[in-house]
Chain A
């Protein structure tokens, strides 16, 4: 399983764009990149997932360069409610009857200030 490295913490202000970069130098060909968000006293919540280039949904964007050795989660115009821990995970995403075994690191603690 590929190891990931993220900043331990980040600070931002309401209305700003936040970019959290994750390093995964040993990513394998079949690995997908997934990001989760966790609020205090809650389980992690799936945010976004991608394999290469750019993925966008209603919550965030995920940028993956061609070599796939890193990825960047972009949160547009953050609010106080985006204060949470963000986890970058890398693992095989098996389809139809398969399973994966994603390993969580320590994550990035994002604090959004007024």
Chain B
């Protein structure tokens, strides 16, 4: 019972490079989310997907794109990484009437 799996766990990028963060859940949840967490702060919502085939912007979407590939997978792409995107990224999924299940996070450093 894996829950929410994120890859990679750690990544260092140079400014201007691109990368995709992968997220997969095996709980058959409809909604999925991407958050970022900066040191000492709470989580901020980047994008979310209410169901397969739909995506919407959250609080801080600039510089990111997402793809809900299927019901299981929701990826986050940084097209041109900037130092301000250095953060810990969490993917989550949620059952319709319950709480979120979070992945273990991806620590991204942009130099």
Which residues of A pack against B, CB within 8 Å?
Answer: 34, 36, 41-46, 49, 87, 93-107
Contacts and interface: CB of A to CB of B under 8 A. Distances in A.
A96 B100 contact: no
A36 B31 CA distance: 18
B94 A100 contact: yes
B35 interface: yes
Given A44-B90, A98-B50, A104-B42, 8 more contacts: A36-B100, A43-B92, A46-B99, A87-B42, A95-B97, A98-B96, A104-B43, A106-B42
Interface of B: 4, 30-31, 35, 40-45, 48, 50-51, 58-59, 90, 92, 94, 96-105
Given A43-B103, A43-B105, A101 B58 contact: yes
Given A95-B97, A97-B96, A44 B43 contact: yes
A62 to B, nearest CB: 13
Contacts of B58: 101
B45 A93 contact: no
Contacts of B40: 106
Nearest to A49: B99
B90 A93 contact: no
A103 B96 contact: no
A84 B44 CA distance: 18
B104 A42 contact: yes
Given A46-B101, A101-B58, A103-B59, A96 B96 contact: yes
B45 A101 contact: yes
A104 B41 CA distance: 9
A94 B48 contact: no
A46 B104 contact: no
B11 to A, nearest CB: 15
A101 B48 contact: yes
Contact of A104 (B31, B35, B101, B103): B35
